[in-house]
Amino acid sequence: MLVVAYLVYSYAFPLLDVQTQERDLPWMLVMLCGTGLLMAAGSFMLWDLATSVVRHADASTGNRPVSKPGTPTPVASPETAAVQQYVQQSDEVDSLMQSFSRMLVTIEQQAADVNEYARRLDTAYKDLESTSAQLKEFSFKDEVTGLYNRRFFSIRLEEEVSRYRRFNHPVSVVLLDLDGFKAVNDDLGHAAGDETLRAMADILLKQSRGINVICRYGGDEFAVLLVETSKSGARLYADRIRYVLSTWAFAHGRRVTASFGIASLPEDVAPAADELIRAADEALYAAKRAGKNRVSVHEDIGAAPGVRPGA
């Protein structure tokens, strides 16, 4: 009864509205108190009954006369035998209950040990996952710009080319190379050069969609993998980057421009990652030959000898 009353008070009572709670709260408290008193009185009566039975059994056992040798042993009355049997059964029940309690304590301790071990194992597994993710992230990141490196770009490019083979979705690659970056390093030092690279990375991140893959491809050259983007969309993207770069205020005060080369699937080459990179690289050389600070697509490639990026 006390358990039922507590459950009603703990779970059913909070579901009532505020006015009903204020009205029924005194009755709930009275019910709980009354139930508690009834339980206490019942427990006292049971304890008193058990004590009386034990006293009666002890008295019956103590008043039994000691028989002399050769004297027939008196036969106990049925009432006395019943009381003795009850006491004996009570002792057996108490012994069983004590054994059961000790067994429960052992089981609870073992369960607590297992839970603690499972918790520690889960914590160690999560730490291992976090460390592995950090190591993987570091292996795919450029330490100067924080962009992805060439290794990661190659992996993602292979995945997108494979996806193009299955679903025929367009994919484009933009290679860009900073014009005259060597002069910045030579005149202002490598610290200024690194700051220029970080500024370029910031421009690319701000002007790109989240699904695009931006990496530092090497030196002052960057590569952008444009997912689900046709050649016309790639050209609009490169023109936007070129415009933002032309108005960007670098910390060293010099103006920095870039040349861009674009190649796309399915227009330019066969669906292979290395062929797509080669086509974008040739388009970049064409932009350099044409005077730098411009965007060139694969069709712009001419027969004139190329100018290597970085010039």
pLDDT band at residue 138 under the 50/70/90 scheme? low
pLDDT tens sequence across 7-53: 656 655 565 555 555 666 666 666 667 777 777 766 767 676 667 65
- Count CB neighbours of 231 within 10 A: 20
pLDDT in tens, 85-123: 767 777 777 777 787 788 778 888 878 877 876 777 676
> What pairing do the DSSP bridges indicate for beta strands 295-297 and 213-218?
unpaired
Instruction: Considering the candidates 220, 239, 268, 274, report the single residue annotated as catalytic.
Output: 220
Q: Please provide the distance, in angstroms rounded to a whole number, between the alpha carbons at the two ends of the chain.
A: 91
Residues in the chain: 311
pLDDT of residue 36: 72
| Among candidate residues 137, 165, 130, 166, the one with its CA nearest the CA of residue 151 | 137
Specify the DSSP class assigned to residue 65.
Answer: P
> For the whole model, what pTM was predicted?
0.56
Establish whether 220 is a catalytic residue: yes
Measured between alpha carbons, how far is residue 261 from residues 132, 161, 292 in Å?
A: 36, 18, 11
Tokens for 108, please give them: 């609870």
How far apart are the C-alpha atoms of 220 and 175, rounded to whole Å? Answer: 11
16 in Cβ contact with 8 (< 8 Å): no
Closest CA to 214 of 151, 222, 48: 222
Q: Nearest Cα to 262, choosing from 236, 281, 280, 240?
A: 280
Q: Tokens 């699937």: give the residue.
A: 265
Q: How far is CA 269 from the centre of its chain?
A: 41
Q: In the predicted model, what is the mean pLDDT of the chain?
A: 79
Report pLDDT for 9. Answer: 60
d(CA 181, CA 193): 7
CA distance 212 to 229: 10
**Helix H or strand E encompassing 10:** none
Q: Is 307's pLDDT higher than 80? A: no
Residue 282 pLDDT > 80:
yes
The set of residues, in sequence order, having a beta carbon less than 8 Å from that of 38 and lying 6+ positions away, is: 1
The C-alpha angle 98, 103, 109, rounded to 5 degrees, equals 130
Residue where the block lists tokens 């002052």? 220
Of 210-224, 234-248, 266-280, 295-309, the poorest mean pLDDT is in: 295-309
